[in-house]
Amino acid sequence: MQRTAVVQLYAAWLRTMRRVQRHDGFEMHNVTMTVDNLDARILALFTAQPQIGVLGASRELGVARGTVQARLDRLVSGGVIRSWAPQLDPAAMGYPVSAFCTLEIRQGRGHSPVVEHLSTIPEVLEAHTITGSGDLLIRVVARDNADLQRVIDAVVDDRHVTRASTVISLATRIEYRTLPLVLVGTRPTAG
């Protein structure tokens, strides 16, 4: 399978995994679900032990298996759990260099042409519309600094990209995480 076909297949899969609301051409995540204490305990358990399974979780939490399954189904359908896919480490796969690029794009056509171009580059892991002097912030990975230059050259090889500024990440101090949001959301409020 060609790289472009794999990227397109992955992008289609991601679109089906997210519940989004379209507004003026931008994707806005529709997260309006309340997460209670049991939901938080379930999420914390599956975060700590992703292979525990529903039966193991019900035993660990002291609740019925059907309750755990119903809660998981609700969390998935509500968009809180976006994926059961494994979390991959680019460095372990041979891409130890991580960088962030701020892109300025030509005005008038919107972000779509640039985002379409970026989605054909496998080393582009994320792209975000931002405020400030740039228009898009992207996260890229590379095999080494010379390979990073190749990736940046591929990123700016689009007539809609007018300028790019890149910073290399020296070390990750806090990995991507969401569990603290769940835990703070279930704390009792003072009052």
Please write the tens of the pLDDT for every residue from 146-183.
Answer: 999 999 999 999 999 999 999 999 999 999 888 898 88
**What pLDDT, in 10s, does the model give residues 67-116?**
999 999 999 999 999 988 888 999 999 999 999 999 999 988 789 999 99
Q: Would you say how long the chain is, in residues?
A: 191
pLDDT at residue 74 in the model: 95
Backbone angles phi, psi at 135, to 5 degrees: -110, -35
Domain ranges of the chain: 37-85, 97-169
Element (H, E) at 168: strand 161-169
Higher pLDDT, 27 or 154: 154
Contact indicator for 160, 106 with CB cutoff of 8 Å: yes
For tokens 């101090």, name the residue.
173
pLDDT at residue 191 in the model: 53
Contact indicator for 155, 103 with CB cutoff of 8 Å: yes
3-state secondary structure at position 97: strand
Strands 97-105 and 136-142: antiparallel
What is the token pair recorded at 62? Answer: 């002291």
Element (H, E) at 181: helix 179-185
Instruction: Centre a 10 Å sphere on the Cβ of residue 108 and count the other Cβ atoms it contains.
Output: 6
Q: Is the pLDDT of residue 12 over 60?
A: no
Mean pLDDT, the chain, integer? 85
Q: Is the pLDDT of residue 14 over 80?
A: no
Higher pLDDT, 66 or 178: 66
Contact indicator for 104, 133 with CB cutoff of 8 Å: yes
Higher pLDDT, 15 or 165: 165
Q: What is the dihedral of CA 42, 87, 26, 17, to 10 degrees?
A: -60
For tokens 């679900």, name the residue.
33
* CATH hierarchy code of domain 37-85: 1.10.10.10
pLDDT at residue 6 in the model: 46
Considering the four listed CATH numbers 3.90.650.10, 3.40.50.1820, 3.30.413.10, 3.30.70.920, the one that applies to the domain covering 97-169 is 3.30.70.920
Euclidean distance between the first and the last CA atom of the chain, given in angstroms as a whole number: 59
pLDDT at residue 85 in the model: 87
**Distance, CA of 47 to CA of 60 (rounded, Å):** 14
pLDDT at residue 139 in the model: 98
**Distance, CA of 164 to CA of 191 (rounded, Å):** 48
Pick the range with the lowest mean pLDDT from 16-20, 30-34, 115-119: 16-20
pLDDT at residue 90 in the model: 96
